[in-house]
Amino acid sequence: MVNVETGTTVGRVISGEEDAVDLRLHVAAIVRDRRYVQFHTHPGNTSFSDADVAVLLSWDQIQAVGVDGTWYALSRVDGPKTPARKAADAFLSEFNRLRDAHPDLPLRELTHQIWLTIADRLGLRYDRVQRSET
């Protein structure tokens, strides 16, 4: 986790499990009214999940994910904060809809399309940056 204002790393790198990361050491280091970027990996290169947005909206951190040269960034924009529950449900709703409509769409693209569709209405900014093959 990095302090946005100072660029300094906060806490140590946390090694998690296959399906979970315990972020409590980082959460405990959060100082009110300061902004942070929380980085974590997605081994399957998919975009943000329902759990990611729930963490973002619970702790007011910007989250980013970088794996295999693809970076995803999700952050709050100014305005009323969307409840984590509503955002997680919006993700799952769109996930189910897209999966039914495009069963062959790779999960990397499916999850990317979800955020392109729902980020604005949840008051979030979403970006994906892919490594160029040069």
Partner 1 sequence: MTPEERRKRVEHVVKMAKLGILVEPAYDREEWRAQEEAGELPEVESPKVKHGAPPPKAARRRTA
Binding residues for partner 1 (CB under 8 A): 1, 13-24, 26-28, 38-46, 49-52, 54-55, 57-59, 68-69, 84-85, 88-89, 92-93, 96, 106-108
Q: How far is the CB of 69 from partner 1 (least distance, A)?
A: 8
Structure tokens at 67: 């794996």
Q: How far is the CB of 23 from partner 1 (least distance, A)?
A: 5
Q: How far is the CB of 20 from partner 1 (least distance, A)?
A: 5
Tell me whether residue 15 or residue 132 sits nearer to partner 1 (CB atom). Answer: 15
For the stretch 34-64, what's the b/e string if a residue is b when 16 or more beta carbons lie within 10 angstroms of its beta carbon? eebbbbbebeebbbbbbebbbbbbeeebbbb
Structure tokens at 76: 């709050």
Tell me whether residue 49 or residue 117 sits nearer to partner 1 (CB atom). Answer: 49
Q: Which of 88, 44, 47 is nearest to 68 (CA)?
A: 44
